[in-house]
Amino acid sequence: MAMDAKQRDNLEEFIEKMKPLKARHTELITVLVPAGFDINLITKQLEAERSTASNIKSTATRKNVQDALESLVRICKQMRQAPPNGLGLFAGKVPQEKGEDEFIVEVFEPPEELNARLYRCDQTFVIEPLEEMLEVKEIYGLIVIDRKEAAFGLLIGKKIKMLQHFDSFVPGKTTKGGQSSARYGRIREGLAKEFFRKVAEAVKLEFYGLKNLKGILVGGPGPTKEDFLKQGNMITALQDLVLGVKDIGYADEHGLELLVETSGDLLAEQEIIREKKLMEKFFNMLGKEKDKTAYGKEPVEKALTLGAVDKLFLSKKLKKSEIKAFEKKASETGVEIEMVSIETEEGEQFWNLSGIGAILRFKVG
């Protein structure tokens, strides 16, 4: 489930607080615990690291590392397992410009499922896996299929989520000739079509009506993938979302990974095309229906305050604090936000126009 505006704000604030912190030496502890993981295993690892830390030569560094580990061991012993989305544990002593060093201990439950498991002792805290949660996550459907098996899943941002795997039980080709061979071939084709329909029905249940589904990629060895698209009776709404078909040597979970690897060109092109279309619509309305658009900081802020904004456009080149302020205002009235890069001519033009724009529901006087 996607994070809401409040969760996003909390995550951004936590990252902004933790990212600049830096110790004098390698003594800041980061522990990332995956969703549902046995916390007792983390406790044992930290206790082992505490013993190892006794070998650190510097007295001050040794004490700081051991204190950080001890604080995290106490926290872990109070838990039975990691929270539903996992857990981030951070501890260590950070120097201050004025006054004594500050001992930091943070326990952070992420708004989305954390898949990484990590222990790190460094001069800085590891917050990259949390930063990745702030990235816009486009969703693409993935299907790989041959006559022996099939698998499908989702590409969510940069992560592949396996949904289902099927074995077909379609028999191989026979070496026998004559009428029995022809009859065997018809039976085999009938079983293959039934397998395609079974996969298509399962795909429909998972993909149809899925929010943020931008397209579907299909792959597999030989001509089976094309046969599936022709004979599987996949509904038109999903057929229309097929971006491309790729030759992949596998039709299992590994095949999903290969499908993503070989479809980089299609995925990049789709994002560029989508951004171009959004900006073309905005500029066309700016020329033909000027009263239904706004651009610039003050006009857009006014339109947001009046509840007049239908869709808000923000350039990725804006300052993070400015983007955050607009996101907060947009969330109050349920306004959809589109982030615009400067990698296209239209995106560059939008940045030169202020990098802040909106399509309006009604005219603002």
Whether residue 66 has pLDDT greater than 60: yes
Q: Looking at 115, 132, 149, which one is the last position of a domain? A: 132
Do residues 118 and 28 share a domain? Answer: yes
Name the domain count of the chain.
3
Q: Supply the DSSP symbol for 55.
A: G
Do residues 303 and 331 share a domain? Answer: yes
pLDDT for 186: 80
311-355 confidence digits (pLDDT tens): 999 998 998 889 989 988 888 888 888 889 887 888 899 999 999
Specify the CATH number for the domain of residue 36: 3.30.960.10
In a domain, 193, yes or no: yes
Give the pairing of strands 213-220 and 149-156: unpaired
Do residues 190 and 257 share a domain? Answer: yes
What pTM value is reported for the model? 0.53
Do residues 148 and 106 share a domain? Answer: no
Specify the CATH number for the domain of residue 315: 3.30.1330.30
In a domain, 206, yes or no: yes
> Closest Cα to residue 207, out of 139, 263, 112?
139
Structure tokens at 201: 């029905």
In a domain, 194, yes or no: yes
pLDDT for 185: 67
Q: Looking at 72, 102, 132, which one is the last position of a domain? A: 132
Do residues 72 and 39 share a domain? Answer: yes
In a domain, 365, yes or no: no
Written as one string, the DSSP assignment of 78-144 is T-SB--TT-EEEEEEEE--SSSSPEEEEEEE--SS-----EEEEESS---HHHHHTTS---EEEEEE
Whether residue 364 has pLDDT greater than 90: no
Specify the CATH number for the domain of residue 183: 3.30.420.60
Contact, 276 vs 344, CB < 8 A?
yes
Structural domain containing residue 116: 5-132
> Quick one: three-class SS letters along 244-290?
EEEECCCCCHHHHHHHHHHCHHHHHHHHHHHHHHHHHHHHHHHHHCH
